[in-house]
Structure 1
Amino acid sequence: MAVALAQSTFPIAHCALERRPPPAPSPSESYVKHANEQPARLAQPRKLLVLVDLNGTLLYRPRLDKAGQRRREHILRPGARELISYLFDNHAVMVYTSATRRNAVPCVDALLKHLAPAQRSQLIGIHPREQLGLTRAQLNAKVQVYKPLEPVWKLKAVQASAKRPGCGAWDVSNTVLLDDSVEKARANPHSLLQVPEFKLADDATQATSLAANTMKAEAAIMQRVQARLEQLKWEVSVPRRIRIWQEQKTTLVDRPDDDTFAAAAAAAYPTPEATPEIMPEATPEATPETEPVERHPPLPLQEPRSGPGMTTRN
């Protein structure tokens, strides 16, 4: 009986093991060395490779109801259309999402439908959940995933986009990850422009969910992202400048992200600073509404390591 029980429970235990999340990455020695150097300004601006997240960053994707139906259409974050137009006119854009391709494509369609066909054709592509190196069990489970930059640079479509006018070979110096999650940027923490999560009540309509002051506050967040990208296109290195913003807490924010970035940065630096989110300044006309901050378990601290110079591409 004992043997039969062990045999019958093995598949269950094996399945649970496969559903464990992938190990959390740490910044490479070369990335740490590069980001820790002093920032410098270019003589001429350049285009950046901007990897954009979807749900929670540029739009809200309502959850399914009990019947498996979407409760309503995707809702764009106020100011997202203007930001997307700016991105396509001034940078190279790719979608980098933890959603499956089936879920990502409708989001992208909703995000880009206001653009002219010539602009839409400039999207490099979608890098979905299926390409994040997950097992089949992890792919279908709600496990924590990560968004390292190195695999993106190796994609043929990304390498081809480097030949566009105003672009160059994509590497750590000119790549930005736009996301609402610090955790997903563990491998490249100083390449992240973080925004607070955009989330609405599933049982509310767009009109009731987005009050006038909330719409102004959300639009201001998108405007500040654009302003930061305008600064970064003049930088010799994106992570060097973002690191300075993080250390000096000058990312135009009202509150930090519960010190989660401090924990992530501790993997690379002995005295990290908390990373603030990109938030609009409160004004009498538009005071941002705050939501409870999702708390994450503390991340393991690692001592910084010294290593050889950085290699960003094969």
Structure 2
Amino acid sequence: MEINMPLYKLWLRSAVKPYDWEDRTTCTGGDDLPTKVGEQAAVLTFSKGEALSNSTYRITNNGGSKVFGLYSCVTGAQGTGSFNYVGPSDTAEVAEASTAATLVTNTSYFIDLQNSTPDTWTMSVYQTLPSSPGLKSLSWKQTTVPKNGESGVQWNINYLVGVANYKQSGGKGVYKASQKLGTSLGQKWACRFEDGAQQLFEDGGTSAGQVLIQNQSGDFANLGIGMDGDLALVQSDVYSGNNAQFEVTPTYWVALYKDVVQGEVISGNQVHGPIKVVFPSGVTQLTFEAYIDGKQFVFKEQGGTALVAPVEQVERRLRMLSAA
């Protein structure tokens, strides 16, 4: 006896205005889709159309007349995806439902770049702390992707504090940590000069969600915070007796560079981007694309934000950066 599985239609938001929902594929699966955040994910099997991607889909019945909601997809074996409920999907509620989820400590997150351009690019991921002005963002995670190639970065939410040395070479300002120590949020540190070097020592606690470093070294200090083994942000030249205070609510950004090194200060020298990185609830992997469309250079998140620039202007910007 043949069992008919329910048919579902999957829709993605257009990357360009007016950002309409576009029919992308049809899937089959069980009778019950999750309708609350945290319920067991539904596994759907790809039926026709384009392959599934790690994106947030709007799911309807096959006729499109019944909307079940927004679902984040994590692709599994070829032709299947695991779908977690994100939120409702009527016009008034889409923007609210697709906001960033809080990233989870000790969870791995991934960002990949598919480079379909005829050039090699370096993708850099960096952070800002909106509630902590005056910090310098560094190229935190990066990977170089050859033409028609694919590569990515990954990280865990494990925080660190550091003392950094600054070096300027070839017009680049680069911070390199002389010391890095793991930290928890709500922890206070002291920077002291001992054994011929500035060093960090645990020094009690501070407000929840903060990391505080007090400079007790008797000299200027470059004090920073990072994640997953690498410095991400630095408060430079902190006077002795003053504090570097970090309100740790990071915003993540991704941009394309032709020539960037890890620890380099992010100073507007990107070739394309940045794009704000938003992980919907239940999603731990995002894919970005770079490709040429006619006379336009497109840099976009799959199923999300797209930035478009004339190829001629991108080439001119490259010449300007090379001459700087």
Under a length normalisation based on structure 2, what TM-score does the superposition of the two structures give? 0.21
Q: Which one has the bigger strand percentage?
A: 2
Larger Rg: 2
Q: Which one has the bigger helix percentage?
A: 1
Q: Higher RCO, 1 or 2 (CA under 8 Å, sep at least 6)? A: 1
Under a length normalisation based on structure 1, what TM-score does the superposition of the two structures give? 0.21
